[in-house]
Amino acid sequence: MPEYAVKTKAMLTKLFRDFKRHFNKARNVAEKLGQLGEFKFQLKFVGKKSVASNQTPDNKETMRLVVLMRRFLAPASNLHYGKVWSTLTKEFSQEIPQTLKEKVESGIEELRKGQLPISIDGKNFTAEDIYQTISEGGFFENQEKVREYLSKLSKNLFIGPLFWFQFYSYSLNALALMGILFQIILIVEKSERYKAIYGEKILTEPKCIYCLQTIGSFKSEEHIFPESLGNDELILPKGYVCDKCNNGVLAQLDDVLIKFEPIAFLQVQLVPHTKDGSLPKANFQNMSMERTSPTHIKIVAKDDTGKLQNKIPLGDDWYSFSLNTRGKPVTQKSIRMLGRASFKIALGIVALSQGREHACSAKYDSARKFILGESNFNNNFFLKVNGKPRVGGRISYKDFEEGTMVAIDIMGVIFLLNLEEEPTLEFNENIKPEDYILYSLNS
């Protein structure tokens, strides 16, 4: 298959997979909101004064919906509805029923315009204009000029609630359009053309890389490191991990990683939302942190050590400060669980890079038993204590004649390990005690 075709296949299968997964999440939240009530804009007259208000069925669930829908509405997103529709019409125009084509085209036009035309000081605002203005003016981004313009408009007591009503309505109305695109994707995936050119190869004999079982259910994909930490790229296809492991021990190890204090601290700052669309939060011994919106973080001190330190005004109501978080004491049990979580990631990246059969080879049997909690592991692993925070994760590995060395970088928290029991990991000229902590996994 030509290189272009291989890349196109990979892009399309990922696009369709991501679209369906995120649409289902947003749809579930919208259904819950529908059971709780309606979005309302109210204008009341009290004497000679008018009072405007915007009401949501539930503020927390509304926030989840808006955050989840951002993937489909942000112009830079690969899942933006315009890009998805362009790809569908370019690759599968003949497979899309004409009635659905017309529904999408009219749906896009209705979404952009909105049902309520608004004109302020001679400027006409479409629903899309309002959505992008609020998004760029502080909700998802913090563009200074847009923020100042929005602040000026919001001084009108009528405009503020009306804009927010349109903002929420735009996200909800967009879901209906995504539903049509979702329906089209399902039709396309069943077409003979898609199956012949882009269809994924189905593994006739699935085998779990963790427990080596070939029986049971294999309906799930496996995120090599948690989706809640921003992983949308490193995913094992169906047939690599059984549902028992995926929903059992592996889910528990993912939870250990997410709750590891340095990662939990970075998740609140760097990850837009968790797996289910909720805003991330973290709890420490001396403070708690949580996102209250995509651009705001709330910090609550539990004692004096959790309060903001070295607060310095920078002007325009901006400040620099430092935080000292205090986590739970490190125990051999917690280190062992963290080691198992990192080994789970390491074996997953081997399978993604070299294939399922290579990951199932006997040289990784000791690692498998360690991951599943059946035994200790006769080696050490390193944890970098002064990594530089960064968005996302990066994983690399080298398969030597003796040893499989893996480096895992999750938002700047770095693990170094050997998936085999030989050679033993020790400090050297590249891995120094001032940069890393060495932990034993054999106890």
- The token duo for 319 is 């400040």
Residue 95, pLDDT > 70, answer: yes
Residue 329: predicted pLDDT = 87
Alpha helices in 143-283 (DSSP H): 144-154, 159-190, 192-197, 243-247, 249-259, 261-270
pLDDT band at 157 (very low <50, low <70, confident <90, very high): confident
Contact partners, residue 131, CB within 8 Å, separation at least 6: 73, 166, 167, 170, 171
pLDDT band at 4 (very low <50, low <70, confident <90, very high): very low
Residue 230: predicted pLDDT = 87
Residue 123: predicted pLDDT = 84
Q: How far apart are CA 362 and CA 366, in angstroms?
A: 8
Query: Do 126 and 169 meet the contact criterion of CB atoms below 8 Å apart?
Result: no
Annotated domain spans of the chain: 3-197, 222-322, 332-440
Residue 443: predicted pLDDT = 77
Burial classification of residue 245, based on how many CB atoms lie within 10 Å of its CB (0-12 exposed, 13-18 middle, 19 or more buried):
buried
Nearest by Cα to 194 from 281, 91, 280, 40: 91
Burial classification of residue 195, based on how many CB atoms lie within 10 Å of its CB (0-12 exposed, 13-18 middle, 19 or more buried):
exposed
Mean local confidence (pLDDT), 290-312: 91
Q: How far apart are CA 433 and CA 211, in angstroms?
A: 35
Beta bridge partners of 437: 383
The winner for highest mean pLDDT among 113-127, 200-214, 333-347 is 333-347
Mean local confidence (pLDDT), 389-397: 90
pLDDT band at 323 (very low <50, low <70, confident <90, very high): confident
Residue 7: predicted pLDDT = 46
pLDDT band at 6 (very low <50, low <70, confident <90, very high): very low
Mean local confidence (pLDDT), 368-373: 97
Q: How far apart are CA 399 and CA 345, in angstroms?
A: 15
Residue 414, pLDDT > 90, answer: yes
Residue 285: predicted pLDDT = 93
Residue 105, pLDDT > 60, answer: yes
- 198 or 236, greater pLDDT: 236
Residue keyed to tokens 């509405």: 73
Nearest by Cα to 409 from 247, 255, 280, 224: 224
262 HSE (CA, 13 A, CB side):
17
Mean local confidence (pLDDT), 235-249: 94
Mean local confidence (pLDDT), 231-251: 93
Residue 433, pLDDT > 70, answer: yes
Mean local confidence (pLDDT), 415-422: 96
- Angle, CA 228 vertex, CA 225 and CA 229 arms, to 5°: 60
Nearest by Cα to 392 from 260, 266, 206: 266
- 319 or 8, greater pLDDT: 319
Residue 160: predicted pLDDT = 83
Query: Do 7 and 15 meet the contact criterion of CB atoms below 8 Å apart?
Result: no
Mean local confidence (pLDDT), 161-178: 93
- The token duo for 25 is 């999440």
Mean local confidence (pLDDT), 166-188: 96
Residues 50-81 have pLDDT tens digits of: 677 788 899 999 999 999 999 999 999 999 99
Residue 114, pLDDT > 90, answer: no
Residue 152: how many other CB atoms lie within 10 Å = 10
Percentage of the residues of the chain whose pLDDT score is greater than 70: 95
